[in-house]
Structure 1
Amino acid sequence: MTRRRILVAAAIATSALILGGCASQQIDAYATEKPVLDLQQYFNGTLDAYGVFTDRSGTVVKRFTVVMICNWNGAQGVLDETFTYADGSTQKRIWKLQKQADGRFTGRADDVVGEALGESRGNAFHWAYTLRLPVDGKVYEVQFDDWMYLMTDKVMLNKAAMSKFGVRLGEVTLSFVKR
């Protein structure tokens, strides 16, 4: 093989890898999936969640449970989350959600930088936000690409990729169970 052909083949392979790494799922792909997620209905009342944080290699770094007490007043919702980690430590996050006129959602919490943006189609909800994450006495601003999938009227699965400066740090996986 000539040097030119090797360079062209390497350029094509590199382009495919780069483009593949940039590809991300689109919310519209879930438009016809059932059961249809009504975020205000699902996140209303008390939910239990069970989750893990895995690092880049897939190793479980943290295990935790969450009790969520959720309620809505018209287009405004509050998700009051209490996290309990396997080591016995706890954490609290209170999301204040707002359903927008176009059907999208915005959200704020004390440890969220700015505003979270989300939208729902079919059985899926996609949420993007930056979280202030405390680790070993330091606080890092980490981006979350958060996807939720309604499985039944009681069960939802959640998968959130965490990254910093575009570098994937790990993933949070949760299962929600509505009481």
Structure 2
Amino acid sequence: MKRRLLLGAAAASTLALGGCASQQIDGYASEQPTLDLRSYFNGTLDAYGIFTDRSGQVVKRFTVLMQCSWSGDDGVLDEAFSYSDGSTQRRVWRLKKLPDGQYTGQADDVVGTALGTSRGNALNWRYTLALPVDGRVFEVQFDDWMYLMTPTVMLNKARMSKFGVYLGEVTLSFTRRAAA
């Protein structure tokens, strides 16, 4: 009887730990349309997003107007945020395309350097953001996944955590404006 309980507990813990496994970027290698950051993040984009807390409650809504440009392998994404509470924010990303679908990025409120990998229609972007909350600044880790749906629409889901503790998610939809 003890042996069955131990085997059952071992199987249950294996299943529980397997449920914690994260997705892998290489699983998207054959997905279409192929995401090329230099093409997609070029020109003007509009984004619409929400931040949800651990319970799934929408805490904040926002829009983003993005002006994006590239010179060779160096890109600038100038983001102007407008939040539902009337506040605004600006973040300017400086991106660098590296070999094999790798990217790095920096912005004034990003701690260190963001690292990204693109395969197929997806980009996984990981970074630490200095996030102001109620007069204090917290360093929060982002595990950001972007999926190109059509040549003009991309969906984005970012998981936020601190010390490995899940805080909530940011969900965005990007729309690339037609060239004038």
Matches of 1:106 and 1:79 in 2, distance apart?
13
How many aligned residue pairs are there?
177
Helix, strand or coil at the partner of 2:19: helix
1:6 deviates by 1.9
Helix, strand or coil at the partner of 1:47: strand
- Residue of structure 1 aligned with 2:146, choices 145, 148, 164: 148
Matches of 1:44 and 1:104 in 2, distance apart?
18
Helix, strand or coil at the partner of 2:167: strand
Poorly superposed stretches of 4+, deviation over 6 Å: none
Specify the alignment match of 1:102 in structure 2: 100
- Residue of structure 1 aligned with 2:63, choices 65, 89, 94: 65
Provide the alpha-carbon RMSD of the alignment: 1.0
Specify the alignment match of 2:9 in structure 1: 10
Specify the alignment match of 1:50 in structure 2: 48
Helix, strand or coil at the partner of 2:22: coil
- Residue of structure 1 aligned with 2:37, choices 21, 25, 39: 39
Matches of 1:9 and 1:103 in 2, distance apart?
42
Matches of 1:103 and 1:177 in 2, distance apart?
22
Specify the alignment match of 1:165 in structure 2: 163
Q: Which runs of 5+ in 2 are unaligned?
A: none
Q: Does 1:77 align with 2:86?
A: no
Matches of 2:107 and 2:133 in 1, distance apart?
18
Matches of 2:14 and 2:119 in 1, distance apart?
31
Q: Which runs of 5+ in 1 are unaligned?
A: none
1:176 deviates by 0.2
Matches of 2:84 and 2:109 in 1, distance apart?
21
Specify the alignment match of 1:119 in structure 2: 117
1:13-37 deviation line (CA, Å, top 9, x unaligned)? 123212321x111111111111111
1:165 deviates by 1.1
- Identity over the aligned pairs, expressed in percent? 70
